[in-house]
Amino acid sequence: MGIKAVGMISGGLDSTIAACLMQRLGIEVLGVNFSTGFCLTDHQRLIANFSPADSKRRAKKLRNEALRAGSDLRFPVEIIDISAEYLPVVTNPKYGYGSAMNPCIDCRIFMLSRARKYMEEVGGSFVFTGEVLGQRPMTQHRNTLALIARQSGLGGLLIRPLSAKLLSPTIPEKEGWVKRNDLLDVHGRGRTTQMELAQAWGIDDYPQPAGGCCFLTDHNFARRLKDLLDHRPHAELHHQDFVLLKIGRHMRLSDRTKLILGRDQGENEYIERFLSAYPQIKPDSIPGPTGVFQGTPLSVDIELAAGIAAHFTAPASQERVTFSISGLNDPYTIGAHPLPPERIEPFRL
């Protein structure tokens, strides 16, 4: 039987080239992709489902690139949902955060430890990634790459084929499963070598490099996440709390209450369909944002929320807007004039 290897596949250029290289060296590739719940494209794909016209227009942009890469190169890719078990990595990272709330080192260790488990389940001999020495500032320095390999439990069973000639020999090389001379010596942030290989190997459909699609590297999302961690005990956090961070405009009304307003039809329908257990605010008879409350809003919070929501419902006028309030005992209506932008800004997250 041939050698099987588990590849961490994002569908980006680097992991696609790494997988293709392994195949060209006679290795059977088994792809794995971990869904953390913090992928921007996954969320956009979900919201687009509630806006059919938008969904068709953005179908290629929002496709699952890992599955696309597997299909193009004819190897299986299994997507594994790790969102629930991943939360402690986000809330309490041993190695800290990057420039936003991105626990990149802890994330990489966690994913590779799960890849090791998957390797054992499917009978793989080693794990490979598309990582490149010196490409990313937090996780791809030489010492950090070694730390991640060690802490994940893979050690020498982890190979980075794109930069392998610049790194210490791994078990696959020592055992002769792959020849070191057949591996690459790519380093740095440029993608010229990878793009040349893609052209030579007939790989012409891949996303343009854009620094990944992780919400946790986004500073606006990070501000919302920090607010959540500041206002909720970590032990009480649930996956749904993190889902809510991805949608709408967020307004911290008080220490006890936050308002989230949908920004478009897709988000409004998502709120109405999936967040019906939360108190909601919605324009009574005209188009506008559907809002959801997190926490326990008092009357003063609801009055403030109505003024904010009115601004996004009728921003060009000062007409009074009527809203329906649901999810708090008996439904009722409340009217409010739009608040000016300068009154809203202090509440915005």
- Domain limits of the chain? 4-200, 247-347
DSSP H or E run through 15: helix 13-24
The 10s digit of each residue's pLDDT in 16-39 is 999 999 999 999 999 999 999 898
- In CATH, the architecture of 4-200 is 3-Layer(aba) Sandwich (3.40)
Report helix, strand or coil for 209.
coil
The contacts of residue 304 (CB under 8 Å, 6+ apart) are 253, 347
- Chain centroid to Cα 313, Å, comes to 30
Question: Which of 70, 61, 55 lies closest to 10, judged by CA?
Answer: 70
Cα–Cα distance, 251 to 138 (Å, whole number):
31
The 10s digit of each residue's pLDDT in 94-111 is 999 999 999 999 999 999
Task: Determine the pLDDT at residue 316.
Answer: 59
Task: Determine the pLDDT at residue 61.
Answer: 61
Torsion sign, CA atoms 83, 35, 37, 52:
negative
Is 73 within 8 Å of 16 (Cβ atoms)?
A: yes
Flag the least confident range among 64-73, 257-266, 307-316: 307-316
Cα–Cα distance, 312 to 289 (Å, whole number):
7
**Single pTM value for the model:** 0.87
Helix, strand and coil content of the chain, in percent to the nearest 5, comes to 45, 15, 40
Question: Which of 331, 325, 334, 333 lies closest to 280, judged by CA?
Answer: 325
